[in-house]
Amino acid sequence: MSDTASARLRVLFVSANESAPWGPSETNWALAAAHWLGQGAEIHASVKGWDEVPGELADLERAGVIVHRRWDLPPYDSRPVHELPWSERRTSTLEQIRPDFVVVSQGDNYEGLGWMEECARRGYPYVAYSNSAAEYEWSPDDVAERLANAYRGARASFFVSESNRELTERQVGAPIANARVVRCHVKVDYDAAPPWPDDDTPVRLACLARLDPNSKGHDVVFDVLAQPKWRQRPVTLSLYGAGEYEGVLRALSERLGLDSVEFAGYAKDIETVWRSHHALVLCSRAEGLPTVIIEAMLCGRPVIVSDVAGNAELLQDNETGFVAAAPVAACLDEAMERAWQRRTEWRAIGQRAAASVRAQMPRDPIALLVAQLSELAA
């Protein structure tokens, strides 16, 4: 595509997220929007309206992205999340903007269904971008058939892990021939090399994830650490993150008497976390491919994860990390026990992890994503 054609291109990024003002699923579309804007395209974004304006969204507006807010009031916002917002049925953002190309960003693999159908109905070319998928969230037959048709009608369907792609095909009951797997932006330098902690006692584990046990499985980690053998070992766990389940997780930790667990708050500087911690533990129940895994590996730290979604796609079990067969206490305990028995090797395992992840991760995944989007838009 020439620079002139790119400058004329009008692109709409739709954030199908309706659950919070901002979330992990917003990061990649926002960065892609800013990157494409810098190349001269006219960029619009449709987001749900909130009283709170996230800093990332404010930054996009200051940069020149035209933001369209959807304001839905009860009872209209009680619709199923996969349906088109009521505000769009009253006044169509698509018809206001008349975009050349639409990127429908979904937190889960079904949230953008109404938007994809509306693009198809009105004749606007679109792609789907899915950030996560859950094995416990299946759609009824009619919705699954609509999803299959919506993915089929996209110019491409992007997934952040191969496992998410495979699970989505199972859940919609059809292959997704236009599927592509892309990598996400990470919050550490590609060449990050924080020094190994000076003191190996106690063993300091870190869990970097929003405080949501539904998807992140904090309770499973707690159950393992509550076992007598783990209580007797010099192990601590730092929980980095925030969320609306912090109170109940604190209560559970206190109920189990887990003096080794620390609620460390939101971590802005990920590399600093790894200067004082030895390994990542993440027992997810639903995921895409968590950037915290990539970040820990780039920083030379071994990871202990559940075999859910893309968690283990970049790992070799027992070589660059440790994989629990399922997000349940018995499986996580087994993986953590293997790791514990080899704790004197963790530094070497982390070094192998760093080399391995750099062989699998591009230096600038957002630039590669925008290059693919540009080609599809043409």
DSSP characters for 90-120? HS-HHHHH--SEEEEEESSSSTTHHHHHHHH
Q: How confident is the model at residue 76 (pLDDT cuts 50, 70, 90)?
A: low
| Residue among 8, 7, 97, 83 at smallest CA distance from 46 | 97
Distance CA(175)–CA(157), nearest Å, equals 11
Peptide bond into 197 cis (omega under 30): no
212-266 confidence digits (pLDDT tens): 999 999 999 999 999 999 999 999 999 999 999 999 999 999 999 999 999 999 9
Q: How far apart are the first and last CA of the chain?
A: 7
pTM of the model: 0.92
**Chain segment 311-364, per-residue pLDDT in tens:** 999 999 999 999 999 999 999 999 999 999 999 999 999 999 999 999 999 999
| Gap between the Cα atoms of 90 and 154, Å rounded | 24
C-alpha–C-alpha distance, residues 19 and 214, integer Å: 14
Alpha-carbon separation of residue 224 from 107, 132, 219, 264 (angstroms): 29, 26, 9, 20
pLDDT over threshold 80, residue 81: yes
Q: Is the pLDDT of residue 82 over 50?
A: yes
105, 129 Cβ separation under 8 angstroms: yes
Going along the chain from its start, the domains and CATH numbers come out as 3-183+363-377 (3.40.50.2000), 203-360 (3.40.50.2000)
C-alpha to C-alpha distance for 263 and 246, rounded to whole angstroms = 9
The per-residue b/e assignment along 90-101, b for 16 or more CB within 10 angstroms, e otherwise, is eeebbeebebbb
Task: Kindly list the distances between the CA atom of residue 274 and the CA atoms of 270, 298, 315, in Å, as whole numbers in the listed order.
Answer: 7, 10, 19
